[in-house]
Structure 1
Amino acid sequence: MNKKQLLEFIPLTIFLIAEICRCLHLPYSSMVMVLCGFLLSCLYFAAALWLYAAYAIHPMNRIIAGFSFSTAIVALMFSLSNWQFWRVYSILGLLLLGVPLVISLFNYKNIAYKQILYRSIFFIVLLSSVFGYKSFWG
């Protein structure tokens, strides 16, 4: 694992652990979730060009992927924190995650786009499971 992947993996892991702790209503987990979520969304949006610079991906596609990943993370925070309009933001996040998914599926032969494809699928599954949990049992 190189430094860029490690820089992405550590806040994402802390964010996911804080989400699980938030579902269990542990103290200070909401604060940790919000801080790590905003850190991670800023990392994806502002540093998307740098994170995917090692891969042969067009810069505009990197920006689109970073924007949709950061929107998905903010939608996860809205959903789990019971903030206003969490349903709208979750649906918007799912729709925006479809854009890098379609881009990476059109360029599936290129190995570089598989990184974006796997992250898109991961965030779609995560956001869908949180949306389903909040809609039916929350």
Structure 2
Amino acid sequence: MYYDRITRRVHIEIGGEEHLLAFTLSGLEQLESRAGTSLIGLITSGEMPGLSMLIDGFWIGLMGGGKRIKRDEAERLAQDYIDEAENGIGDLASLFNLLVAVSGIMGAKYANEVLKAMGLADKDGEVPEKNAKKAARK
């Protein structure tokens, strides 16, 4: 698994086939609408998204990555991803968090933290401390 810094797409492999996923702003809006709750509130709460949101996110992510697919097809593909994953549904939740991070909606600091937690390089670079420039001047 890796992400493309330019396209903001996450590349994953399922059954030997590469799939691209991305959360666009309209995709995040669609996901929030389908979930019936604030997506930002869920993310900042630290709670794990429900199964429906994870599957919807996977489906919307595939569409954001350029794949035209029906939700039931995406659900079967998500099941294959879970079956192949070392941590099962936990890996699907991690993928969801990665898609949010790479989308940039939560800012560079959040993205950096998620990427580090997943063992991926932050291709956008380290996020400077908020007051690092001020401290350097003193």
Bigger CA radius of gyration: 2
Q: TM-score range by the shorter chain?
A: 0.3 to 0.5
Name the one with the larger strand percent. Answer: 2
TM-score (norm 2): 0.36
Q: Which has the higher contact order (CA 8 A, sep 6+)?
A: 2
